[in-house]
Amino acid sequence: MLNIVIADGSKERAVIQAMRDRAASANQAIELAVQAIMENVKEEGFPAVERYTRQFDHKIPYEISREKMDQAYDRCPKELIAALEHAAANIRAYNEKLLPKSEVWTSPDGGKVGRLVRGLTRVGIYVPGGTAAYPSSVLMNAVPAKVAGVEEIIMVTPPTDNLNDAVLAAAKIAGVDRVIAVGGAQAVAALTYGAGFIPKVDKLVGPGNAYVAAAKRLAYGQLDIDMVAGPSEVLVVADETAEAKFVAADLLSQAEHDKLASAVLLTTSQDLARAVDREMIRQTGYLERSEIMECSVRDYGCAIVCPNMEQVISLANEIAPEHLEIVTREPKKLLPEIRNAGAVFLGSWSPEPLGDYLAGPNHVLPTSGTARFFSPLSVTSFIKTMSVLQYDRSALEPVKDEIIALARSEKLTAHANSIQVRFE
């Protein structure tokens, strides 16, 4: 099941390239279709949104009442509500620790300078419908926005026949202000430009299909977005001390997402790689999404056996995975060497699903190597900052000539004059 690659300088490079190529941008047909939807919604407003919703979902957009959200919450099993509440509390506590504070201090010149932190005014959250209903994603997107002080959170989700109770319950728990049954590129367009009762937002976050991803790319600039996420991925770094059945289970937990998901083991032990392969075959035999896992592992999964841990870490940083598990004798010792990863999980008892659901850090993470420059979604994704300056005469006077000299060097005499007139 698991292709075992002995690193030789070229075979492992082919694996890395395959991981990146699988997340190629949407094809031209999708881009053109989405561009037309975006333009029509911009020009026509809500009638275009309604027309596309009828065409694609055979429904009309509508707002879900608070009463229906409460009913969905009440229908959910108590143990599920308890788990959602626990997860929300952990996400909230984690993001409260990360929230930057407004602060003003005295500069070396004696003036007052600082930073003001403000939450965004309105944020949209896209939640897929149908079988891809993830209440955990509602919490991961909405709770940090609430902690940031976002004034209004608008959640959109396709108008399926039966909206998922757990998704609506999670929206209630997270403090979502409005839930609107509308999906696809037309939902992105409505939140970008405003359409009827659907308001435009400052930022749009959340996963979606290729059409939603293309629409988010086109919307960027009119609003901010979290990222255009590719297929899910996990990279497990392990040595001979790792428990094969744990590693196999964690690789399969990502492979079950979809056929494009990538599950890769980097190890110094060929024996471990073989044992993990046997375990993956055994565990797949009793898991429900075996066909998806088998396709994912066959096409985008493998074990790469390296001669030493230095090469393992070098490859891990080059891959820059969404999820990175370090399952070695002393995993914490390797942490200073990790430069590129969405989230790092240390040790045998920190499996990736812990981060997906409950621990507190976000599961909205950069994929396809973008962890080289993107960060996980968090409270800082939903704030903006403003600089603040306050000098009095005694602070400005000692530096006035330097400002004037700089302004004149750039031939901006009005800038120089703005300083000079204050001391004539």
What is the distance between the alpha carbons of residues 225 and 316, in angstroms, rounded to a whole number? 27
Coil vs helix vs strand at 87: helix
Q: Tell me which H or E stretch contains 133.
A: none
The encoded tokens of residue 18 equal: 């395959």
Q: Could you tell me if 187 and 216 are in contact, meaning their C-beta atoms sit under 8 angstroms apart? A: no
| Catalytic annotation present for 322 | yes
C-alpha triplet 294, 299, 304: angle, nearest 5°? 100
Q: Which is catalytic among the residues 322, 325, 352, 363?
A: 322
DSSP-derived secondary structure letter, 380: G
C-alpha triplet 186, 192, 198: angle, nearest 5°? 70
| Catalytic annotation present for 318 | no
Q: Could you tell me if 216 and 227 are in contact, meaning their C-beta atoms sit under 8 angstroms apart? A: no
Residue with tokens 């991803």, as numbered in its chain: 213
247 to 265, 327, 366: CA distances (angstroms): 8, 8, 22
Q: Tell me which H or E stretch contains 356.
A: helix 352-357
Q: Which is catalytic among the residues 323, 325, 352, 363?
A: 323
The encoded tokens of residue 304 equal: 């790469």
399 to 110, 355, 381, 394, 414: CA distances (angstroms): 11, 51, 36, 10, 17
User: What single string gives the DSSP state of each residue in 242-302?
Assistant: S-HHHHHHHHHHHHTS-TT-EEEEEES-HHHHHHHHHHHHHHHTT-TTHHHHHHHHHHH-E
Burial per residue of 281-298, b for 16 or more beta-carbon CB atoms within 10 angstroms, e otherwise: eebbeeeeeeebbbbbbe
User: What single string gives the DSSP state of each residue in 208-257?
Assistant: --HHHHHHHHHHBTTBEES----S-EEEEEE-TTS-HHHHHHHHHHHHTS
Q: Which residues are catalytic?
A: 322-323
